[in-house]
Structure formats: structure tokens, C-alpha cells
Amino acid sequence: MTEQANTQDLLSIEDLSIVYEVDGETTYAVNGLNITLKRGETLGLIGETGAGKTTTALGIMGLVPNPPGRVVSGKVVFDGEDLLQMPKEKMRGVRGNRISMIFQDPMTSLNPVMTVGEQIAEVILIHEGVSKKASFQKAGEMLEMVGIPAVRAGDFPHQFSGGMKQRVVIAIALACNPDLLIADEPTTALDVTIQAQVLDLMKDLKSRYNTAMILITHDLGVVAQVCDKVAIMYAGEVVESGDIRDVYENTKHPYTRGLFGSIPDLDHSVGRLNPIKGMMPDPTDPPSGCKFHPRCPDATATCAASEPAPVLTETGHVARCLMLQSMVEPTDVNRVQG
């Protein structure tokens, strides 16, 4: 688990565990998570409510609220340095500058009493040490880049529609030309036609600036259209991950299969959907063994007893399932993890 990170990796998360402790009760939000990402790559992080997607993002950004949150173990190696060991001062220079984040709800992540121009200029002013005038100049350029006329820099957030607000948020996130962009459900609050516009914009900007991106979403379709790699999270763990085509076409983990069975397919009509039975486990009291076993159609007695280790599938991606473990040797899976 602790082997040297591949030097080409921009981001390498190793064995990250995060808990929240409230009133003596421990919520296991992220459990031994491994993810790697190269420059310019886009990773889709898929999971349902409570899977630990957002906590993972906050963990990378060093923004897990403490208390009640606590990073128990692991490393977040970004461009060769472990962010978890980095002094606060230095981390502040990374956050918003080399790593930035887009939050789900553009209505609440913008300051309602500042003009959008000021909000974009603020980031540039803080991180790039330029003059106020130059920062406003750049803010105007950023607005144009996301498709909003620069003359609107003096407008307040409430004067924009939802899709335009999300464009403003993207402009703020990209203002310092970050190496890594973490987008947490960036289009979930938007209508489909506006979502299509915003996704196109993000894809275009990402390829233009070679920005690596982690796209957090519950939407398998959005990931299919935007990402190169995918990681499926369940109960704080990555249960299946790898190259998007491999994971989507050679799905191995029963949870991933369940997700695909739950969404109506536009191209093939089915009479009934094939959902996953039951609910997400209580994160304060996770099940023993494989965390998915109480809901798994293929579970056997072994699944309740021992925890599955990540194994490499025949086609070359990683899945955490005891049913696969018997078939494949768990060798060197860390290298392809993520």
C-alpha cells in the first residue's frame, strides 16, 4: 500500500481514511481509499449519497472540518508532496491556486453581496500578487472565457441564471490555472440543456489548459461523456476503478452492476428496472467483511467474514470483491489503482 508513488502521477491518494466523531459515535466516511491521477486526466468519482465522495474531496483540499472530522491515516501526494503533512500557510497557497474546487450549488457558493467580477479578481489578487487593476482585467477575461460578456463583471450573483452562476464559479476555480480541479456535482442543480453547455465548456477548458480533474457525481451518463477514468465508491471505499471503457463494458463488481441496472436505458427498453435491494449501511456501524454483502445478490458466507482486497480483473481494472479474488492473484494492483 505504501510503495513509492509513480513519479508521473499528479495526485496519488494512498490508504486515506477519514472519520467524523460526534457524541462518542464514529462515522467511517472514507476507509482506506486509493486513487491516482495523471496530469490532464479526468477521473469520475461515482457514488450515492453517503458514499464518501465529498469527504474525499475535502480530504484532498485539507478542508475536512476538525472537529468533528479527522484524517485517521493515509497520504495525499500532490506533485510529489504530501498535502496532509504540509504546513497550513503553505497549503493555503496551494488551495485555490494549484488545486481548486467547484461546489454543487452555485446559488450558495457565491457571495451575494460582492459583484462576480470582485469574486473572480479576489482569487487572482490573493494568489498571483498582481495589482488590483490587473486582477480585474484578468477577471473580465475569465468571464469571457466561460461565455459571459466582460461587461457583466459589475453584476451581482442574483442577476444571473443558475447556469451562468455555475459558469462564474468555474471562472473563479480556473482563474489561477490550477493543475487539479475538483468538481463536486457541478451540474446536478442544472437543467439538462444547460448541463450540456456547462459540460462542453468544462471539457473544452480542461483540454486547453491540460488541467487534471476529479468529477464527483452520481450520474453514470455524465461520467461516460466526460471522463477517462472512473472510480465507483460504496460506503467509503472504492469498489471498482480503472479505465472508463473497461469498467463500463467489463463491469465486475455487483454494486456497479446494480447501479447500471437501476437506471432506465434510453436505447434499450426494459419492463422493470433491476434495482439494488436494501439501503446504504449505517456508516457508524458498517457491516463486517465486504460492506456491500448485505445487499449483494451474489454474497456467500465468506463475504460477511473477510474483507475483500482490491484485485486486478482479467481486462485490467481493479475491483474489490471476494468472488473475484479466488480467480485472480492480487498482485501489484496499486499501480493501476484509480
Partner 1 sequence: MSDTILEVRDLKKYFPTPKGTLHAVDGVNFAINKGKTLGIVGESGCGKSTTGRVILRLLEATDGDILFEGQNIRHFNKDQMRRLREDMQIIFQDPFASLNPRMTASEIIGEPLLIHNKVKNKQELTERVAELMELVGLSPRLVNTYPHELDGGRRQRIGIARALALKPKFIICDEPVSALDVSIQAQILNLMQDLQEQLGLTYIFITHDLSVVKHFSDEIAVMYLGQLIEKAPARDLFSNPTHPYTRALLSAIPSIHLDHKMEREVLQGEITSPINPAPGCRFAPRCKYAAPECTSREIHLNEINDGHFVACAMAGKG
Nearer to partner 1, 105 or 219 (CB): 219
- Tell me the pairing of strands 318-319 and 237-243: antiparallel
Smallest distance, Å, CB 86 to partner 1? Answer: 34
In the complex, least distance from residue 5 CB atom to partner 1, rounded to whole angstroms: 29
What does the alpha-carbon distance between residue 15 and residue 13 come to, in Å, rounded to a whole number?
Answer: 7
Size of the site for partner 1 (CB under 8 A): 47
Binder among 3, 23, 89, 249 for partner 1 (CB under 8 A):
249
Cβ proximity to partner 1: between 100 and 197 the closer is 197
The gap from C-alpha 223 to its chain's centroid, in whole angstroms, comes to 11
Residues 254-313 that bind partner 1 (CB under 8 A): 258-267, 269-270, 272-277, 279-280
- One character per residue 25-54, x = contact with partner 1 (rule: CB under 8 A): -----------------------xx-----
Residue 38 β-bridge partners = 9
Q: What is the dihedral of CA 9, 213, 28, 259, to 10 degrees?
A: -110
Q: Please, which residue, 50 or 74, has the CB nearer to partner 1?
A: 50
- The nearer residue to partner 1, 156 or 248, going by C-beta atoms, is 248
The residues, ordered by sequence, that sit 6+ positions from 162 with a Cβ below 8 Å of its Cβ are 106, 107, 189, 190, 191, 194
**Closest distance between partner 1 and the C-beta of residue 199, in Å?**
7
Residues 6+ apart with CB under 8 A from 224: 244, 248
**Cα 309 from chain centre:** 22
Least distance CB 202 / partner 1 (angstroms): 12
- Residue 281 main-chain phi, psi, to 5 deg: -70, 155
* CA nearest to 11, candidates 87, 80, 95, 102: 80
Which pairing describes strands 69-78 and 318-319: parallel, antiparallel, or unpaired?
Answer: unpaired
Cell of 143: 468571464
- Residue 42's closest CA among 191, 171, 228, 217? 228
* Nearest-approach distance from CB 266 to partner 1, in angstroms: 5
Count of residues making up the chain? 338
Give the nearer residue to partner 1 in terms of CB position, either 176 or 222: 222
Stretch 143-202 residues interacting with partner 1 (CB under 8 A): 161-164, 191-197, 199-200
105-124 residues near partner 1, rule: CB under 8 A = none
Cβ at position 31, least distance to partner 1 in Å: 19
Nearer to partner 1 by Cβ, of 224 and 309: the residue is 224
- Do the Cβ atoms of 15 and 3 come closer than 8 Å? no
Nearer to partner 1, 266 or 301 (CB): 266
Positions touching partner 1 (CB under 8 A) are 48-49, 161-164, 191-197, 199-200, 218-222, 224-226, 244-245, 248-249, 258-267, 269-270, 272-277, 279-280
